[in-house]
A and B are shown apart, each in its own frame.
Chain A
Amino acid sequence: MAIEAGELVKAAAFLGAGLAMGLGAIGPGVGEGMVAAKACEAIGKNPKEAGLLTRTMLVGQAVSESTGIYSLVVALLLLFVV
């Protein structure tokens, strides 16, 4: 089966998109979980500050999320632009 050059590039782009999003999701997933675990610990130690702690948790998670969003953007670029 002869595969044309364009077809090969497309295949590699699809594979790259899958790997980019798949591997890129590992870090933010674990990191955000750690943040949530520590936020629960902090609320347990100081329940009066629950609101402040939840807010801090969400901001921290949002920053950690950014690498997941980079992966998503790169995956979409590979799928639809390249």
Chain B
Amino acid sequence: MPFDLDTWVQVAAVSGSGFAMGLGAVGAAIGEGYTAAQANLAVSRNPDLSGDIFKNMLVGQAVAESASIFALVIAILLLFLDTGNASMVKAAAFFGAGLSMGFGAIGSGVGSGIPGGQACLGISRQPAVASRLTTNMLIGSAVCQTPAIFSMVVALMLIFIDFSHLPVHPTWAALVGAGMSTGLAAIGSGYGGGLAAGASCEGIARQPTSTANVTTTMLVGQAVAQTPSIFGLLVSFILMFKSFPPGEPFSTAMGLLAAGLCMGFGGIGPGVGNGMAAEGAVRWVARRMSHAGDLMRTMLVGQAVSQSTAIYAMVISLVLIFVV
């Protein structure tokens, strides 16, 4: 039973919308639950401060929520957007946009919840530095949101750029791959950044004099942990803007889809691993400020090695796009 193009574009838009919001709700819910759980612990330790802890919990949860709000925006856009002139390329772009935003919100949502929870615990332990903890929590969780923002940028580009002049085959695979690349790679970076930010809130509560060192180490560690998602964004841009001649063989399309999957999955592990390394370094900078330099050096060396697999994945993606 053949369907017309309008139907296919609508099918892609509604299923993309479902993926965007369904997957996009996972991360923020887990992250906010973690924050609330730690806030409960914090209140039980120090019930007199329940007001401050409650306020900090809500601010932290609001930041974690933003990842799923991005997903909601994309889901609503896909549902109610006027599709204009329908084509199979547009259908692929809509589906890719939904995947990008849905996967991309998972890591940032979980990650942003960790500093929120640790800041609540920290307030119960060191009420005097409550405002410093909230500030550090906000800086850390804002950095965690960047992978989700990359995913939203890719999703918006897939929705609003007109690809319809390109040949359907293999552009469809390039656009779905572009969505998967940024979306999946964002999972690791978002979660990894959260691990580093959580350790820094815990560290400041333990040793308030170490704030400057701890925040610096956290930001350096988070920046390195973001790189896999930047690789993912790079591969997405290449897939979106490389033009393909009509009449490419079937294998080229599969190669482009594989390039997106390769960079996407390949970014998850190094993102989480870099975040773990930063977590360890930040935690111990707070305990031994005198050795902050040694710890930062070891963290960077360890992260560089962990990063290598993301670089292998990028190399294979680029070979799939440009060589074979």
State the A residues within 8 Å of B (CB).
1, 3, 7-8, 10-19, 21-41, 43-45, 47, 50, 53-54, 57-58, 61-62, 65, 68-69, 71-72, 75-76, 79-80
Q: How many A-B residue pairs have CB under 8 A?
A: 208
Which 9 residue pairs of A and B lie closest in terms of their CB atoms, listed nearest first? A33-B273, A36-B302, A29-B269, A18-B258, A44-B284, A37-B280, A22-B265, A36-B277, A26-B269
Q: Does B254 contact A (CB under 8 A)?
A: yes
Per DSSP, chain A at the interface is: helix
**B242-259, CB under 8 A of A: which get 1 and which 0?**
000000011101110111
CA A47 to CA B284, docked complex, whole Å? 11
CA A53 to CA B284, docked complex, whole Å? 15
Per DSSP, chain B at the interface is: helix
Neighbouring A residues of B290 by C-beta, 8 Å: 47
Q: Does B206 contact A (CB under 8 A)?
A: no
> Whole-angstrom distance from the CB of B111 to the nearest CB of chain A?
14
State the B residues within 8 Å of A (CB).
188, 192, 228, 249-251, 253-255, 257-277, 279-281, 283-285, 287-288, 290-291, 294-295, 298-299, 301-303, 305-310, 312-313, 315-317, 319-320, 323-324
CA A1 to CA B172, docked complex, whole Å? 15
> Whole-angstrom distance from the CB of A12 to the nearest CB of chain B?
7
CA A50 to CA B292, docked complex, whole Å? 12
Given contacts A41-B284, A43-B294, contact A25 B310 (CB under 8 A): yes
> Whole-angstrom distance from the CB of B272 to the nearest CB of chain A?
5
